[in-house]
Amino acid sequence: MIDGKKTMLSGMQSTGMITLGNYLGALKNWVNLADEEDIKCFYGIMDLHSITVRQDPTELKKNARRLMLLYIAAGLDPEKNCLFFQSHVPAHPQLAWILNCFTYMGEMNRMTQFKDKSAKHADNINTGLFTYPVLMAADILLYQADLVPVGKDQMQHLEITRDIATRFNGIYGDVFTIPDAYIGKSGARVMSLQDPEKKMSKSDENPNASIFLLDDKDTIMRKFKRAVTDSEGMIAYRDEQPGVRNLIDIYNAVTGHTVEETLKEFEGQGYGTLKEAVGEAVATELAPLQARYAELEKDKEFVNRVMKENAEQASYYANKTLRKVMKKVGFIEMPR
């Protein structure tokens, strides 16, 4: 809770270009939420998390800035929501250090994302990658978040956050709000267009597997045209046809139609028709976002002001919690 309001925090790493999956699964939900409910929302660009995997500095910078612009372009109003870069708020790594000392090796060892990522980056299994969930716990606990919209893959990290917070509160009294997961209304899970058994990912090596938010219409149409389906030749919504099901899911997430409505709409039609309709729907959905993005790119002054003011706001709330924690732990306050 902050100022008597329910508080929500979420974020994305500033690695690569975000996809239609990130948009429909997270960003779009955030926008609906911010409009609908009387909640104080914090959305971070988690650039500190990004460097658990080696990054090119120029690329990292480009990606982080682009993500901020995409948050705004997607409809997160920076006057209402606090949109900030994690690296602009030193309280994050400060609290993470303290929480590291309240987290067990065994707990981190169990994290499935750590296992997956260390298999994928076997040449760089750094301790940052290992303690990644502790930094994420700090992100959440600093803002006393009641709600955290996360996907399935981050649920384990949210659970460990709750465990760490409960442990800390058990020792020092009620310092942290224990956060709950927030499952959004649509929460679409978008799969790869080339391998519909796999989640659409921004780090996929095959560029045809993912729709990126700034893809132009031709690219979007082409990628859907090439989307992997099956040889059944019938539009149906079932496990045996994951490619077609994914197309239907995407179509519905964008248009708001139900499965029944969509099956009816495309009854007796071929995959080509469905692919074209999905491509059109997605391109139409993304067009205003892309236009707004292009405007923001030109308005440096506005973006800089947003970055500065929101970082200050985030720091204000984060430092409040951090000071409380430091006092509880027993650090000497700096004399003024």
Pairing of strands 180-182, 82-85: unpaired
Instruction: Check 5, 80, 115, 117 and give the catalytic one.
Output: 117
Least Cβ distance, residue 93 to ligand TRP (angstroms)? 12
User: For the purposes of burial, counting CB atoms within 10 Å of the CB of 188, is it exposed (0-12), middle (13-18) or buried (19 or more)?
Assistant: buried
Compute how many residues bind ligand TRP; rule: CB under 6 A.
13
Q: Which helix (H) or strand (E) holds 88?
A: none
φ, ψ for residue 2, nearest 5 deg: -130, 130
Least Cβ distance, residue 125 to ligand TRP (angstroms)? 17
Provide DSSP, 115-173. HHHHHHTTT---HHHHHHHHHHHHHHHHTT-SEEE--GGGHHHHHHHHHHHHHHHHHHS
Q: Side chain identity at 205, as an amino acid letter?
A: E
User: Can residue 9 be called a binding residue for ligand TRP (CB under 6 A)?
Assistant: yes
Least Cβ distance, residue 44 to ligand TRP (angstroms)? 6
d(CA 185, CA 192): 22
Interhelix angle 155-172/127-142, rounded to 10 degrees, is 70
324 is catalytic: no
d(CA 81, CA 292): 18
User: What are the distances in angstroms from CA 116 to CA 111, 121, 191, 210?
Assistant: 9, 9, 18, 20
Which range, of 35-43, 71-79, 135-143, 301-309, touches ligand TRP by CB under 6 A? 135-143
Which range, of 5-13, 29-37, 70-78, 119-127, touches ligand TRP by CB under 6 A? 5-13
Instruction: Give the contact letters, 185-224, x = binds to ligand TRP (CB under 6 A), - = no.
Output: ----------------------------------------
Instruction: Give the contact letters, 150-179, x = binds to ligand TRP (CB under 6 A), - = no.
Output: x---x-------------------------
Least Cβ distance, residue 288 to ligand TRP (angstroms)? 25
d(CA 250, CA 280): 11
Among 41, 148, 160, 248, binds ligand TRP (CB under 6 A): 148
User: Can residue 136 be called a binding residue for ligand TRP (CB under 6 A)?
Assistant: yes
User: Can residue 12 be called a binding residue for ligand TRP (CB under 6 A)?
Assistant: yes
Instruction: Check 28, 40, 199, 275 and give the catalytic one.
Output: 199
Among 27, 64, 89, 140, binds ligand TRP (CB under 6 A): 140
Using CB under 6 A as the criterion, which residues of the chain lie in contact with ligand TRP when the complex forms? 9-13, 46, 49, 136, 139-140, 148, 150, 154
Q: Which residues are catalytic?
A: 117, 199, 202
